[in-house]
Amino acid sequence: MTIPFSPFDESDKPEPDDDDGLDDLDGPAANDLDDPAGVTTEADPGGPDSTAGSKPATPDGEPKWKSLMNDEDSALGTAATLSKAEAAGRDPKRGKESPARTRKTRRSKPVIGVVAIVVAAFLLAGLPLLRGAFQRTPKDRIGISYGGGPIEAIHFQKVVPPGHGLFFNGFFDSLYLYPSDQLNYILADTDGNDDAVVAPTSDRVTVTYQIAVYYKLNTDELQAFHEELGLRYEAYTDAGWNNLIRDTLRQQIESALQEETRRHTVAGIYGDAELLVQIQNEVQATVSARLEAALGRRFFCGPTFEPGGECENLTFIIKRTDIPESVAAAFESNKTSEVLIGTRENEVIQREQEARGIAALAEALNQTGPAYVLLKAIESGQINFWVLPDDGSIDLTAPDVNAPATD
């Protein structure tokens, strides 16, 4: 039996189509379809002889593999069932993925890498933002929160008390911290730091003061303080706070102390303790009043201030006063002279008293005569015999010789 054979035509070769599932089809069935070597054919009566490398064909010229597929579809009504290995794109004989499946896997790896990089960058950029959204306040700091994002106007939100635990402050919102405990401001000439206050007296002698001021920030006025002074000086930082105190508190201390010092002499300031206490109290009241007048509000209170309570005056203490060495030496010299004068006066008085004693003794001797001298000599034990005067003014009683002797 002979089978008509038509020469192989390039138009009969199927085009690759990813949708029909034939690219991933492997196995013996696919080998039989693609390889016509195992099919016995006969040459066309008018054509060349049949060879093993020729492509099988049906009598109507349709490729053999397409005819078989059509016959199977018409018989079963569905496409051919693939094995699990074939469905997964692996060669059931070799257990490897097909080249098409490998190409798809290789194309997906760069995409996954790009996605991972984008996610990591987003997390790194969002971590500081997330961290800044949560805040807390130390025990010695009071916080004031202001909102203001990229499209939001800056506005006051709330005051956070000292020692507050972790809380959500908001994205892009700021929390400013200010001291809430007792503060001190010391002006002294220590460790080579010439920071004392100098003021002239009424007699034009320079006095150097070493002082200390104890105070608290008035937290009842915290919002006004922050908006009027805190933002201008950045007083929520250590350097900004020091600049604020130097430009406000120190200026008023120097002014009040110089004004009060000019009312007194150097001798009074240098040697009168009560006068120093008076100057201290006057400066304390003046500094508090002038601070309020200069700043517009009473932003600083005494060290005993509590939120909601009375804002008393700052506590001002004069620790030490110093005058020029030459003036101090003059004071010491004058004091030494006063001591010497007193010593001389005491010596004169002593000599006067001695003279009065001698005069009184001489007058007594004149009244008693030689008998007083003899009596003193006898009392002292310096005379072993008696000399009796001729006039018989002294009576002596002789001892009784007949009296029995006593043991």
- What pLDDT is stored for residue 2 in this prediction? 44
- Half-sphere exposure of residue 177: CA atoms within 13 angstroms, side-chain side: 13
In our burial notation (b when 16+ CB lie closer than 10 A, e otherwise), range 120-152 reads: eeeeeeeeeeeeeeebebeeebbbbbbbeeeee
pLDDT value of position 334: 73
pTM: 0.55
Nearest partner of 257 among 272, 279, 274, judged by Cα: 279
Q: Which residue has the higher pLDDT, 227 or 154?
A: 227
Q: Mean pLDDT over residues 196-208, rounded?
A: 92
Q: Beta strands of 277-386 (E only): which ranges?
A: 300-301, 315-322
- Ranking 149-153, 191-195, 197-201, 349-353 by mean pLDDT, the lowest is 191-195
C-alpha–C-alpha distance, residues 290 and 221, integer Å: 17
Q: Output phi, psi for 3, to 5 deg.
A: -110, 125
Which pLDDT score, from 0 to 100, does residue 219 have? Answer: 95
Give the pLDDT of residue 377.
67
- What's the rounded mean pLDDT across residues 220-248? 95
pLDDT at 254: 93
**pLDDT tier at 224 (50, 70, 90 boundaries)?**
very high
Contact predicate 196/189, CB 8 Å: yes
Tens-place pLDDT, residues 378-398: 667 666 666 666 665 666 555
pLDDT top residue among 405 and 310: 310
Say yes or no to pLDDT of 48 above 50: no
Sequence-distant (≥ 6) Cβ neighbours of residue 85 within 8 angstroms? 91, 92, 95
Structural domains in the chain plus CATH codes: 10-97 (no CATH), 182-323 (3.30.479.30)
Residue 347's φ and ψ, nearest 5 degrees, are -65, -40
pLDDT in tens, 90-112: 555 555 555 555 555 555 667 67
State the pLDDT confidence band at 265, using cuts at 50, 70 and 90: very high
pLDDT at 235 (0 to 100): 95
Element (H, E) at 277: helix 273-295
Average pLDDT of the chain, as a whole number = 74
- Which residue, chain included where needed, has tokens 């006067």? 352
Q: Return the minimum-mean-pLDDT range out of 28-32, 115-119, 240-244.
A: 28-32
Given this model, what pLDDT does residue 140 score? 92
For the packed helices 370-380 and 325-368, what is the interaxial angle rounded to 10 degrees? 110
pLDDT (0 to 100) of residue 309: 93
Query: How many CB atoms are closer than 10 A to CB 204?
Result: 9
Res. 36 pLDDT band, cuts 50 70 90: very low
Decide: residue 393, CB within 10 A, 0-12 exposed, 13-18 middle, 19+ buried: exposed
Of 342 and 140, more confident: 140
pLDDT exceeds 90 at position 173: no
pLDDT at residue 332 in the model: 76
The pLDDT score that the predictor gives to residue 288 is 92
Mean pLDDT of 8-16: 50
How crowded is residue 36: how many other Cβ atoms within 10 Å of its Cβ?
20
Is residue 36 within 8 Å of 57, Cβ to Cβ?
A: no
pLDDT at 337 > cutoff 70: yes
Tell me the C-alpha distance between 368 and 365, whole Å: 5
pLDDT of residue 16: 52
Instruction: Say how many Å lie between the first and final Cα of the chain, rounded.
Output: 195
